[in-house]
Structures are given as C-alpha cells and as structure tokens.
Amino acid sequence: MLHAELVLRLIAAAAAGSIVGFERERLMWAAGLRTHMLVCVGACLAMIVSAHGFGDVLGQSHVAFDPSRVAAQVVSGVSFLGAGTILLRGEVVRGLTTAASIWSVAAIGLAIGGGLYVEGVATTVIVIAILAGVKPIEERYRSRIGTRELRVIAPAGAVTIDLLREIAGERASRIRQFVTTPSERDGHEDIRIAFARLSQASVDAIARKLAAIEGVTLADGAGEDG
C-alpha cells in the first residue's frame, strides 16, 4: 500500500469529521469541530495500523491476525469519550446527540481507514442530514407534546377545575395539573395550570377565556416547560 494512499485516507477522515463537527460547533457544544476531527482521524489511523501495520510479521507461519479486533476496540473505546459529553441538568439529559455523533465519526474514520471511501462519504452525508435536517422536525414535535403552564390570579372560588374543563372543552383531557394557593391579594387565589401536548395557540385561547371572567387576571403567559 502506497504511503500517499494512506495519507489521503487520513485527510479524508479529517474532512469528514470536520463536516460533522462544524454542525456541533455551530450549536456551541463542547465537543465541536476539533473533537470530531480528532476522533475521526484517530479512528482512521487505528484502522490503517490494524490493516497494514503488521505486514512484517504476517508472513510467519505461526502468526494469525484479525484486523477487525482493533476496529471493535475503537468502537467500544470511543464510547467513553462520548459519555463525557452527556450532562444531566435537573431532570433533562443533554448531550446524547453529540455523543452519538462522536461514535458515528469514529465509525466513519474506520470505514475510510479501511478504504471504504464511498461508504464513509455516504455516512457523513447521512449524519449531517440527521443532525441538521431532522432537528426542526424534532423541535416542532416537542413543541406539540411539551408541557405548557398558565398562571392566573382569581377571586376565591371563581375558577374551579370543573369550570376549567368546561372552558377547555374537548381539550380538557390535556389538563395535567390544577393547583391553587392563597394569593397575596386578600380573597384571591393563585392558580397554576399545566397542560400536556397542547399547542401554544390553544393555551392562549383558554387564557383569554379565563381572563374574560370578572376579577380574573393573568399572572404570566403560557410557557413551555420541556
């Protein structure tokens, strides 16, 4: 194998890693451009060493060698690096997508290191399509299934769960929480309402109907929480 060909594989791996890494860098993740490039190039070199680095001993009759063993170790070993990008913030887990992208570029590096250029490039395109193209769809879906909250101040007994169900109509099944606490205003209640899988427009419509009740005011608008 010519050295020029092997160097070309390393350069191609760096390019593939940079394309994926740039998408993560754009979102200001800690594992960004350089991390993805290094992982991809390192995996590529590991594959090259695995496939071509032991030619001087393979000619001996008592030597048996399986290049796939190094690839398997890279796939499992890079998982520790990916795990370092996963963060738990409150009840929300962040960084899973970045960890998956690191694992993917390691596989891309292995493919290019093994000379599978077409497969490596195709995977790079697919990964970018997933990271950049699917995200808007994912965000729209989450906005539909997320929890939205509404807070109102009302005279004691003016707003009840039964009244809220009547106002919500067919959307009453989306009510997930109805909590009343004494308000700082005498004779009033602080009411917190949570809706699940309800659009912002629907929550705003319910808020307007509540605000139309005499003495009821909106403490704040509806907001997404998840």
In this prediction, residue 63 carries a pLDDT of 61
In this prediction, residue 55 carries a pLDDT of 62
Instruction: Retrieve residue 157's tokens.
Output: 């007994």
CB 199 within 8 A of CB 147: no
For residue 129, give the DSSP letter: I
* Domain segments of the chain as ranges: 3-143, 147-224
Distance between CA atoms of residues 145 and 74, nearest Å: 37
Largest Cα–Cα distance in the chain?
94
Q: Which residues of the chain have pLDDT under 50?
A: 221-226
Pick the CATH number of 147-224 from 3.30.70.260, 3.30.559.10, 3.30.750.24, 3.30.230.10: 3.30.70.260
Distance between CA atoms of residues 107 and 116, nearest Å: 11
> pTM for the whole thing?
0.55
